[in-house]
Amino acid sequence: MGSSSFNERVYAVVRRIPRGMVATYGQVAALAGAPRNARMVGYALHANPEPGVIPCHRVVFRDGSLAPGFAFGGPDEQRVLLEDEGVVFVPPAAKPAGAPGWRVDLDHCQWRE
């Protein structure tokens, strides 16, 4: 299983995520046939050959948080793109110092294939 074929499978999965929905890195890895390779999904998306065509902004962490190193403008840009599509965010329950902020409401916005 070469990395380019893995990347192509990741891109095929990500292209299927509907507008207004998100998938987690682990979910994409499983659908690409490589469960437990969520980190590799991140590498594949960072190398996205078609930004704007392959909607990598629709992939989030398993807790709904956004990637701090979102390759195409940072988490603020990722959030703008998602909110423009109607993705709902929820505040953290209790925010201790240094905790991540708002997260995607996965109960309502996670894609279920």
Summarised one tens digit per residue, pLDDT across range 77-104 is 889 999 999 999 998 765 555 555 789 9
Q: Which of 13, 56, 59, 67 is catalytic?
A: 56
109 is catalytic: no
What pLDDT does 1 receive?
Answer: 47
Find out whether 58 and 104 touch, Cβ atoms under 8 Å: no
Average pLDDT, the chain: 87
Which residues are CB-contacts of 14 (< 8 A; sequence separation ≥ 6)?
Answer: 23, 28, 45, 54, 55, 56, 58, 59
Find out whether 56 and 78 touch, Cβ atoms under 8 Å: no
Cα–Cα distance, 65 to 22 (Å, whole number): 11
CATH code at 3-109: 1.10.10.10
Domain boundaries, given as residue ranges, for the chain: 3-109
Find out whether 11 and 28 touch, Cβ atoms under 8 Å: no
pTM over 0.95: no
